[in-house]
Structure 1
Amino acid sequence: MSNSSCSSNQLFLQPLWDLSRTFVQSAFFPVIFAITTYVGFCLPFVVLDALYPWVPALRRYKIHPDFSPSAGQLLPCLKLTFYQHVMFVFPVTLLHRVCSPDNLPLDAPGLPELVCHVVICLLLFDAEFFAWHLLHHKVPWLYRTFHKVHHQNSLSFALATQYLSAWELFSLGFFDMVNVTLLGCHPLTVLVFHVVNIWLSVEDHSGYDFPWSTHRLVPFGWYGGVVHHDLHHSHFTCNFSPYFTHWDKLLGTLR
């Protein structure tokens, strides 16, 4: 790629990185970013669930038309998310910041580099989570001790996405950290990857199958999406990959 091409790609993202760099330097940024992004993505689905009884047109997009989460289901999920981020995620990110302070680059990444790294991180995360997820379903002690919390809500809704044990939350965070570190991802790429990853996980648990849902936009059935993951919550013995379908196809666990 020519120098002029690299330069134009970097300039495309430079204003975004200049703005982001101001916030990324704060020790409070990772936990605030994680919570606000997650809750922000969940909120539209919470509103849809609130409107659902009065808007019959939504019924055609609901995977389980007779189910709408109650306040008694939503509030514990929200409470657990805030509790774990404040009590666990924040101390860990603060310790990491103190032990290895970031030397943030002045230049933004090129757009092809950012897109390539985000796609690779998603594929790596999908493979790691598939192995972790399958193991926690096949070993009864692991399931009872760590993963059963997430399956307490058998019918999915957006705020149940992060209804997890602390071990599961840290495991998924560890996969994220290892992948971006091994690839040497630019900090802006890391932010974009986290946004995409959070959105896909919330969509997977949303309970809504829209014409514009991700699994309908990705061709050839490569991406499972919300319907794929809902079957996992219903049957427990299939569809262990969070996003793509190739690992379940290879191991015969695709339904």
Structure 2
Amino acid sequence: MSGRNSSELQVLCSSGQLLLQPLWDRLRTWEALVQSPFFPVIFAIITYLGICLPFVVLDFLYPWVPALRRYKIHPDFSPSARELLTCLGQTLYQHLVFVFPVTLLHWLCSPALLPPEAPEMLQLLRDVLLCLLLFDAEFFVWHVLHHKVPWLYRTFHKVHHQNSSLFALATQHMSLWELFSLGFFDMVNVTLLRCHPLTVLTFHVVNIWLSVEDHSGYDFPWSTHRLVPFGWYGGVAHHDLHHSQFNCNFAPYFTHWDKILGTLRPAPPPAWCCSCGGCPSNSGVLCDSHLNQKKHS
């Protein structure tokens, strides 16, 4: 029986690898670019701006599309062109002037080697999840320290809290120390887990997407935290509470560390989730239907 289970697992893993192999073979046709020191910075900037773009478009449409108000955490706030350009300029400046030289140094010390085989699908999914969990724990500790130690907050983390109302391009509005800290956590995790290069790229895309979504200022019915069961994932309203109240919800993604240390503060439900629209976003006031649900839960 165990031999049969083992053979079935091998077939499943092989099929998972075959599923990713065409994609990996296509990426390897651009091997010269992927192995160059320019690729990590180009990939990071294009991925970040590409994920921010839909939310930036929504911010431009917001004044003329009243229907968007029900999905906005702060309905009366829309970032100005100056705020958007300031955050965009800082991101490009830091990546080109500081991140690229560090990437070049890392490339000189250990040039990237691309294996011929793609990773197995289950292995890729497992490693991406482990990287997210490790990053979540590391940044939680870093984040708590930079809020509890006044000098660390004033010197390094205060920059990120200059925008109390969130928008997508504010995601990487941070000090250089914070940017390098997050990059260091990413690099250490994929190295410790010996992740396949395709897994590394996938993790970076997922990590950037989750970060931007958490800072977007929009809470949609299809937002990631609504797709993850049991309240395990915080989401945009969860992170918005951290920016407005400072002393709660320190973990970037998951909720278990805040639950363990008593710093979790649940966000109120958005107005669109009930027919009356009577739960003002971030007010902490529930409409009658939600009060009745809470009584009977």
- TM-score under structure 2 length normalisation: 0.84
Cα deviation digits, residues 219-255 of structure 1 (max 9, x gap): 1111001010000000001000000000001001011
Secondary structure of the structure 1 residue equivalent to 2:57: helix
One-letter code of the match for 2:114?
L
Tell me which residue corresponds to 1:47.
57
1:16 alignment partner, one of 14, 17, 23: 23
- Residues 1:80 and 2:97 are matched in the alignment: no
> Aligned partners of 1:216, 1:155: CA distance in 2, in Å?
21
- Residues 1:246 and 2:256 are matched in the alignment: yes
> Aligned partners of 1:71, 1:234: CA distance in 2, in Å?
22
> Aligned partners of 1:56, 1:95: CA distance in 2, in Å?
49
Cα deviation digits, residues 75-99 of structure 1 (max 9, x gap): 1100000000001111111111111
Tell me which residue corresponds to 2:283.
none
> Aligned partners of 2:160, 2:206: CA distance in 1, in Å?
21
Tell me which residue corresponds to 1:119.
129
> Aligned partners of 1:166, 1:24: CA distance in 2, in Å?
25
Tell me which residue corresponds to 1:70.
80
Aligned pair count reads 255
1:110 alignment partner, one of 91, 108, 120: 120
User: Alpha-carbon deviation of 1:26?
Assistant: 2.1
User: Alpha-carbon deviation of 1:8?
Assistant: 1.9
- Structure-to-structure mapping, 1:139-150, within 5 angstroms: 139-150=149-160
Tell me which residue corresponds to 1:233.
243
Tell me which residue corresponds to 1:184.
194
- Residues 1:57 and 2:67 are matched in the alignment: yes
User: Alpha-carbon deviation of 1:5?
Assistant: 3.2
User: Alpha-carbon deviation of 1:180?
Assistant: 0.5
One-letter code of the match for 1:20?
L
Tell me which residue corresponds to 2:276.
none
5+ long unaligned stretches in structure 2: 1-5, 266-297
> Aligned partners of 1:66, 1:150: CA distance in 2, in Å?
21
Tell me which residue corresponds to 1:136.
146
Tell me which residue corresponds to 1:101.
111
One-letter code of the match for 1:27?
P
Tell me which residue corresponds to 2:161.
151
Cα deviation digits, residues 180-229 of structure 1 (max 9, x gap): 00000000000000000000000000000000001111111110010100
> Aligned partners of 1:205, 1:20: CA distance in 2, in Å?
30
Cα deviation digits, residues 21-57 of structure 1 (max 9, x gap): 3242222110000000000000100000100011010
Secondary structure of the structure 2 residue equivalent to 1:89: helix
> Aligned partners of 2:155, 2:51: CA distance in 1, in Å?
29
User: Alpha-carbon deviation of 1:20?
Assistant: 2.1
One-letter code of the match for 2:207?
N
Tell me which residue corresponds to 1:175.
185
Q: Which has the higher contact order (CA 8 A, sep 6+)?
A: 1
1:215 alignment partner, one of 225, 235, 244: 225
> Aligned partners of 1:93, 1:18: CA distance in 2, in Å?
25
Q: Which runs of 4+ in 1 moved over 6 A?
A: none
Deviates more, 1:153-162 or 1:12-21: 12-21
> Aligned partners of 1:73, 1:222: CA distance in 2, in Å?
32
- TM-score under structure 1 length normalisation: 0.98
> Aligned partners of 1:217, 1:19: CA distance in 2, in Å?
31
Secondary structure of the structure 1 residue equivalent to 2:75: coil
One-letter code of the match for 2:136?
D
User: Alpha-carbon deviation of 1:103?
Assistant: 1.9
Percent pairwise identity: 80
Secondary structure of the structure 2 residue equivalent to 1:244: coil
User: Alpha-carbon deviation of 1:11?
Assistant: 1.3
Task: Note closer, same or farther for the CA distance 1:110–1:253 as it changes in structure 2 (3 Å cut).
Answer: same
